[in-house]
Amino acid sequence: MTENRPHVTEQVCDLCGGTGWVLESADGTKRAHPCVCRGASLARARLASAGIPQRYRDCTLENFSDNTLSLTNARRAAREFVDSYPAAEAGLLLVGPAGRGKTHLACAILSELVLTKGATGLYVDFSDLLMKIQTSFRSDADVSKEGVLTPYSEAEILVLDELGASKPHAWVLDVLYSLLNARYNRKKITIATSNFEDELDPASGERERLEDRIGYRLRSRLYEMCLLVPLRGSDFRKDVLGTRIRSRF
């Protein structure tokens, strides 16, 4: 049985007919120049290649829920960072308990920089990155350690999400330090998020500090690379999304 699917017609630019170029004639000579739609198309392609998870692709600074002073200050810091880029000298380290919008804010920053500043970047989950690094050391690995790290070390902007979610072995920490150190030396911007902080917060329920999870050297390097931005407030997933889900039943 063949499933009937609605036919989706892709909108074609009226100026260039979808070619990306506009032809003009002057004094009997034809000239081509990029269409205005070309820039938007390239920006969308850059955004698609950034690897932002589907759940966070529609995140913006405008639809970030800032119902506490701390979250309002966090959004303001994100806006100031975006507005100042590429003059920003340091990235951001967004910390706080789960459900406060750290990943939303990080992905929103990356999306806006790609779409409005012509930047390129990559998103990677910390645990996924650890898995890729560990796999690269296997004898039957399809890609080398360098092959794994190069895209992240060379990315103009790197979003490193859930820093410390998995506790790596000492040798993996050395590899991660090399990655961040390479970005630091090349003045590349890194935006990181973590549920772990420098001092234990009883409200978070965490029993380890960020340094306990990623080691002293890595945390020290982040001090030089990123501005610390704390996020405090209610758990958005529990209080807002949970209420929406329950209201459907």
Tens of pLDDT, residues 120-150: 999 999 999 999 999 999 999 999 999 999 9
What is the sign of the dihedral through the CA atoms of 156, 126, 214 and 80?
A: positive
pLDDT over 90 (residue 31): no
Alpha carbon 165 to chain centroid, angstroms: 16
Q: What is the pTM of this model?
A: 0.80
- Domain membership of residue 224 (yes or no) is yes
Using the structure block, give the residue that is written with the tokens 């340094």: 211
Are 39 and 153 contained in the same domain?
no
**Separation between Cα atoms, residue 86 and residue 3, nearest integer Å:** 48
- For the chain, how are helix, strand and coil distributed in percent, rounded to 5? 45, 15, 40
In a domain, 6, yes or no: no
Same-domain check for residues 70 and 189? yes
Cα 160 → chain centroid: 7
Q: Is residue 58 part of a domain?
A: yes
Alpha-carbon separation of residue 228 from 40, 46, 58, 209, 239 (angstroms): 33, 27, 25, 14, 26
**pLDDT tens by residue, 55-93:** 999 999 999 999 999 999 999 999 999 999 999 999 999
Identify whether 11 is part of a domain: no
- In terms of residue numbers, what domain contains 178? 51-246
Residue 7 inside a domain? The answer is no
Q: Strand pairing of 121-125 and 91-95?
A: unpaired
235 inside domain: yes
157-175 pLDDT, tens per residue? 999 999 999 988 899 999 9
Do 158 and 234 have their domain in common?
yes
* 64 lies in the same domain as 128: yes
pLDDT at 6 over 50: no
Neighbours of 132 (CB within 10 A): 17
- 41 and 60, same domain (yes or no): no
